[in-house]
Structure formats: C-alpha cells, structure tokens
Amino acid sequence: MKKKEEVKVEYYDNGNKKSEIHYKDGEKEGVETYWNEDGNKDMESHYKDGKLDG
C-alpha cells in the first residue's frame, strides 16, 4: 500500500516562504524548514517516522 505524502507550505504576507514541512501518512517525515521574513533560513530539522532524527 502506497503511503500518502504531502508538503505543507506557508508564506509571509510579503510573499517569502515561512515554512515547509513534509508529511507521510500524517506524520512528519524528512526535512522541516523555517525562514524569517527576510527570506533567510531560520531553522531546519529532520524527521523520520514522525520523530526528530539527529
């Protein structure tokens, strides 16, 4: 059975990306990234099976 994958992306009012979070079957999977309003990367985390990895 194929797992459902999705990416949730949010943007600031100025159009810059605010966050990008990857999910698989409703659990965080892969990279979760946040940027500040100026477009600079603020934080990056890695998830595996819904748990922080690393």
Q: What is the mean pLDDT of each run of 10 residues along the chain (54 residues)?
A: 90 98 97 98 97 93
Residue found by looking up tokens 């990367």 in the block: 41
Q: Which domain holds residue 18?
A: 5-49
Alpha helices in the chain (DSSP H): none
Q: How far apart are CA 16 and CA 14, in angstroms?
A: 6
Does residue 11 lie within any of the structural domains?
yes
Task: Please give the tally of structural domains in the chain.
Answer: 1
- Closest of 17, 45, 16 to residue 32, by C-alpha: 45
Does residue 54 lie within any of the structural domains?
no
The pLDDT assigned to 40 comes to: 98
The pLDDT assigned to 36 comes to: 98
Q: How far apart are CA 45 and CA 41, in angstroms?
A: 11
Global confidence as pTM = 0.87
